[in-house]
Amino acid sequence: MSQRPSTVASLRALPHPTRWLLFGIGLARVASFMIWPFIAVAMNKRFGTPITEIGAQLALGALISIALSPLSGLLGDRFNSRNLMLFGCALCASCYLLMGLLPGQTSYFVAIIGMALSQSILEPLLRMLLSDTAVDDAQRTFLFHIRYYVVNCAAATGPLIGLWFANHQSDGVFAIAVCVYAVLTLTILNAARAQLRNPHLTKTASPPLREIFRAILGSKLFLSIIVANFFLVLVYAQIDEPLTFYLLQLSVDDINHIIAMMSFTNAAVVLVVHLFLMSWLIALADKTAYLMALGCLMVAHAIIALNTGAWWAGWLSAVVFATFAEIIVMPLFGTLIDRLAPPGMRGSFIGISMLAGLGSALAPLLGAVVIAHFGGAVLFWGLALACIPIGLLGYRVLRVGQPEVVPATSTV
């Protein structure tokens, strides 16, 4: 077996448009992490919005984003995906502009819905464009890991920058976000032009719609992976807004600082651990990776449930274990979906696979309701126990499908 190239060498081997697109995606995520981790606190403290209402709004936005993602993927395969992405960037910038110029409960709600629509367009199509700029399958697999790494670089820096704006209740952060999406627009245009010029980057023509649906419904492994990922995301997403709701319920001091530190801890662990374990993670058996991830997630939720004294180190310890789960399993699903997608159907498969994100759409509302009626300890003990059947389900699915995916893994 030939020796794998280093991460730096693999990064240098990427086409220039791919690297610029990664840069644009990274900047957009920095802007996102400057704003959204603090949205629940801002709406609750600045406008007096109840946590159940915030949870419902965020759940509705996530539901819209996920429900429309398959449509965006299908349209991206068949029509000009560049124009769709440019519209998504413009809509996203407009939502940030609205929150900056007209802060209030109504404008924030409209922005949440508008952002959901824009993300339903950008998320699957940016992944498709990034994948299409790769010159071979090995480089494509590397791209899913390096994209994940770039996103977590943004997660490390974004909250630290956004913390100052959140503490000062400054709307200047939205102006920065608008400028960032202008940069993302330029990188999309650059990648799209390169795709037309370079024969290696030419996209395969999409087959008829009937063939796409036949391929999707005929792949039991693909559909099973979506179901397993749905439950995983539902459990993992409780670390985000529901944990913030729990902190609000406990009246934790300096809550914005705790949120920023948790986001930084998540990103810092990824940046260190993922960088050194990337080659090992790529070669790790899918079913083993999934089981390890659910074990780490179970420990994370148990720590949160036990931390009724609001010990700050307890929150950070839980984030560390949840991050280990994230490192192991999040790039895995992106790689699996890309590997299973037939030629010309990558956007459709990516879009359909994002239905698993319905778990994250339900998480804020589910977390808010359970916390409001039964308390955060009940929620997180329940989640810790739920990791057992969810882990066994995913292990069974991936064990049955392992023969289909091992050959592709071994060629990376």
Domain CATH number, residue 226? 1.20.1250.20
In a domain, 237, yes or no: yes
Counting the structural domains of the chain, the total is 1
In 3D space, the residue among 299, 302, 324, 305 whose CA is nearest the CA of residue 246 turns out to be 305
Residue 395's H or E segment, with its range, is helix 376-410
In a domain, 3, yes or no: no
**Which ranges constitute the DSSP H helices of 13-104?**
16-35, 39-47, 51-78, 81-101
Residue showing tokens 């200047």: 172
In a domain, 5, yes or no: no
Query: 371, 379 in Cβ contact below 8 A?
Result: yes
Domain that holds residue 35: 10-199+212-410
Integer Cα distance of 185 and 283 in angstroms: 35
Write the pLDDT tens digit of every residue in 206-230: 666 777 778 777 777 788 888 888 8
Assessment of whether the complete model's pTM goes beyond 0.85: no
| Mean of all residue pLDDT scores within the chain | 80
Neighbours of 342 (CB within 10 A): 15
Q: Rounded to whole angstroms, what are the CA distances from 274 to 7, 11, 252, 270, 280?
A: 11, 15, 31, 5, 10
Write the pLDDT tens digit of every residue in 21-52: 999 999 999 999 898 888 888 888 888 888 77
In a domain, 2, yes or no: no
In a domain, 192, yes or no: yes
- Judged by DSSP in three states, 134 sits in coil
Write the pLDDT tens digit of every residue in 247-285: 888 877 777 788 878 877 887 787 787 777 776 776 677
In 3D space, the residue among 389, 359, 117, 161 whose CA is nearest the CA of residue 242 turns out to be 359
In a domain, 141, yes or no: yes
In a domain, 287, yes or no: yes
Express as a percent the part of the chain with pLDDT over 90.
Answer: 14
Structure-block tokens of residue 329: 């399993």
Integer Cα distance of 248 and 266 in angstroms: 20
Write the CB contacts of 100 (distance below 8 Å, at least 6 apart in sequence): 171, 172, 173, 174, 175, 178
Q: Per-residue pLDDT for 201 more than 60?
A: no
Res 409: pLDDT = 37
Integer Cα distance of 22 and 180 in angstroms: 13
In a domain, 152, yes or no: yes
